[in-house]
Amino acid sequence: MRVKDGVSLVGGLLFLLSVTSAHASLEMHLIENGQTASMQSPAMTCQEPVPMACQVICDFGYYTTVTVSASGGNCTDAQSALTLQLQSIARGNCESITMLPSYCAFQVVITTTCAQVSPGVWQVQGYAKHHCRMSTC
């Protein structure tokens, strides 16, 4: 080892010793004043993960209800009754699948057009396609 290298090595060690001594002195000062000290540098500190907000979304399944009939005093009433009945079925399907009694992307498919089946009674048949809502929590 040359003298110049030895001086560099000693200089580097003295610098490292002074930095370590200064850190220890600061740490003792903080502890004496009731504050906490951390040996980690700011670049090394770990951050707590930020929790994602829970969301309710449509699942990726695609479900079809059974075909049902509904009737009413006219076609509008019969179709409304069909929709309500199919919504109830979809709600039950989803509750058994995702534990949430809620559906989304609901669509009624008419299989038999509205027709008068007796005086003052109209009937329609159909099924529904739907997805189920689910929680991301």
Which secondary-structure segment (H or E) carries 17? helix 3-32
What is the pLDDT of the chain when averaged over all its residues?
A: 77
Q: What is the mean predicted confidence (pLDDT) over 32-48?
A: 53
- Domains of the chain by start residue, with CATH: 3-44 (no CATH), 56-135 (3.30.1660)
pLDDT value of position 137: 79
Taking the chain, what is the end-to-end CA distance rounded to the nearest angstrom? 64
Residue 135 has pLDDT above 90, yes or no: no
Q: What is the mean predicted confidence (pLDDT) over 11-35?
A: 48
- Total-model pTM: 0.59
- The β-bridge relationship of strands 68-72 and 121-135 is antiparallel
